[in-house]
Amino acid sequence: MRVLKITAEGLTTSFRYPYYMIGVQPTYEMPPPATLYGHIAGALGEWFDPRGVRFAVRFSYRRKHTELETTYILSAASGSLKGFPNTPKTLEGEANPLKREILFFPRLTLYLNRPEWESAFRSPRYAACLGRSQDLITYRKIETLDLQPVQAAYFENTLLPYDFVRFTAAGQSTLMPRWLDTTHNRHPIFERYLILQRRIHTRNLMLPADAALPPIYADPGEPRIEDDPLGLVFHSWVED
């Protein structure tokens, strides 16, 4: 598989859990697939058809802290501009402080089976950010490479299919937004995944006799550990 490999770094990021509205905003410790789709669309400058597009991701950060953030709920004040009766003269704001979890010094490595998109990431259409609009990131390295399928590998700081919870006690199972359907008023589609931050080797997985792992590809540019290459499992945003 020939892929595009993008390595990016930033100062801060935060991936908000849905349905938390008041008081606290926890963060996912891995960018949700829907967030990655939006990031790629920002580089391309347009929404793209996700059918047939595959991605693998590695993500790490140095620290997680909680900061106090204030939002303001605005409403129109009394009165209007002269000659424009429907235009408010001023806006009144109500302060709404909340605690938000922030990931500091994030590092993203994104693999896409679209090597022809290299020029878009070298000259992105919109400002490159990950998470919130103010969480700017810098592309440190952009390259194309060939991945080979392997049977044995190690995984680290990555997103795995939910089926892996049957084979290992490592990682954190979570429900994440997989895809926001922009053709139907951004209707969200959720999927369960396994967020893996520690290192595991395929030989240590507890595989039943009738179990089969999804295809695993090796990144030849990453270091081998205990003679195993870095393994990647690719995901999709929608079913083909």
In what helix (H) or strand (E) does residue 74 lie, and over which residues does it extend?
Answer: strand 63-76
Average pLDDT over residues 198-220: 92
CATH number of 2-232: 3.30.70
Average pLDDT over residues 16-37: 88
pLDDT per residue as tens digits for the range 86-97: 655 566 677 878
In the chain, how many H helices and how many E strands? 2, 18
Q: Are strands 24-25 and 154-155 parallel, antiparallel or unpaired?
A: unpaired
pLDDT per residue as tens digits for the range 34-57: 999 999 999 999 999 999 999 999
19, 53, 6: which is closest to 33 by C-alpha? 53
The lowest-confidence range among 17-31, 76-90, 210-224 is 76-90
pLDDT per residue as tens digits for the range 147-196: 999 999 999 999 999 999 999 999 999 999 999 987 788 888 999 999 99
> What's the pLDDT score for residue 18?
83
Q: Does 34 or 211 have the greater pLDDT score? A: 34
- b (16+ CB within 10 A) / e for 129-152: bbbeeebebebeebeeeebeebee
**3-state secondary structure string across 150-210:** ECCCEECCEEEEHHHHHCCCCCEEEEEEEEEEHHHCCEEEEEEEEEECCCEEHHHCCCCCC
Cα(68)–Cα(66) distance, rounded to whole angstroms? Answer: 7
Q: Where are the domains of the chain?
A: 2-232
